[in-house]
Chain A
Amino acid sequence: GAGVSQSPSNKVTEKGKDVELRCDPISGHTALYWYRQRLGQGLEFLIYFQGNSAPDKSGLPSDRFSAERTGESVSTLTIQRTQQEDSAVYLCASSLVIGVGGDGYTFGSGTRLTVV
């Protein structure tokens, strides 16, 4: 597609439920990133995928968070046993090659997650 596509655009879930967020990167983009944007806060790095290399998971806030990506295609971010502090906009970005210093990133519009 022309841009990075994320689904769903909005998700309301009950505390304790699991949620799965999806990101379709731009075709041909080898690098994919997940960020979280909580209200009143800057974007926080969560995880980075580059081709078939081991992902950089250093930003995942707890073991309730996990993400997968098969090759250079779709990625899913899963949050288990959601908590209210997980409420945020989850943004996905992709770049053609490793985005040195953030060059070449294209962000999706995000998934707005609300945990009630």
Chain B
Amino acid sequence: QKEVEQDPGPLSVPEGAIVSLNCTYSNSAFQYFMWYRQYSRKGPELLMYTYSSGNKEDGRFTAQVDKSSKYISLFIRDSQPSDSATYLCAMSGNSGGSNYKLTFGKGTLLTVNP
């Protein structure tokens, strides 16, 4: 079992839809949880950053972390064609003092159709 599992999709939704993306993980040492957005031929850009369990909201984006279930989610409300990209979950922990090492999911390719 890989440390981080993410459904690669592809996921196609109409403009205005609510999008739900998620990842599961196996390493209970993970404490820092991130969602990155990656456009084609570009580097990942940080969307959401969460420490430990709970919810975080930023505009149309909401990140949820459930450490008891080892499950994280990203919700996108009122999705726009400009949201079309690959979404990567990433996480890290304090194990061995190397919390700078990120473990990534494979990414989910999202297309929002106008």
**Which residue of A has the minimal Cβ distance to B101?**
A45
Number of contacting residues on B, CB 8 A? Answer: 27
Asked if B100 and A48 make an inter-chain contact with CB atoms under 8 angstroms apart, the answer reads yes
Asked if B43 and A101 make an inter-chain contact with CB atoms under 8 angstroms apart, the answer reads no
**Which residue of A has the minimal Cβ distance to B89?**
A42
Q: Is B65's beta carbon under 8 Å from chain A?
A: no
Asked if B101 and A59 make an inter-chain contact with CB atoms under 8 angstroms apart, the answer reads yes
Asked if A102 and B44 make an inter-chain contact with CB atoms under 8 angstroms apart, the answer reads no
Q: How far is the CA of A83 from the CA of B4 in the complex (A)?
A: 27
Give chain B interface residues in 24-48, CB to chain A under 8 Å: 31-32, 34, 41-46
Q: How far is the CA of A68 from the CA of B67 in the complex (A)?
A: 37
Q: Is B102's beta carbon under 8 Å from chain A?
A: yes
Cβ contact of B88, chosen from A40, A42, A103, cutoff 8 A: A42
Residues of A within 8 A of B41 (CB): 109, 112
Asked if A42 and B92 make an inter-chain contact with CB atoms under 8 angstroms apart, the answer reads no
Asked if A101 and B92 make an inter-chain contact with CB atoms under 8 angstroms apart, the answer reads yes
Cβ contact of A107, chosen from B4, B45, B107, cutoff 8 A: B45
Q: Is A4's beta carbon under 8 Å from chain B?
A: yes
Residues of B within 8 A of A60 (CB): none
Q: Is A25's beta carbon under 8 Å from chain B?
A: no
Task: Decide yes or no: A103 and B4 within 8 Å by CB, A48-B100, A56-B98, A110-B43 being known contacts.
Answer: no
Closest 3 CB pairs of A and B: A101-B32, A107-B43, A42-B104
14 contacts between A and B (CB under 8 A): A4-B43, A42-B6, A42-B88, A42-B103, A42-B104, A43-B88, A58-B98, A99-B100, A101-B32, A102-B92, A102-B102, A105-B46, A110-B43, A112-B41
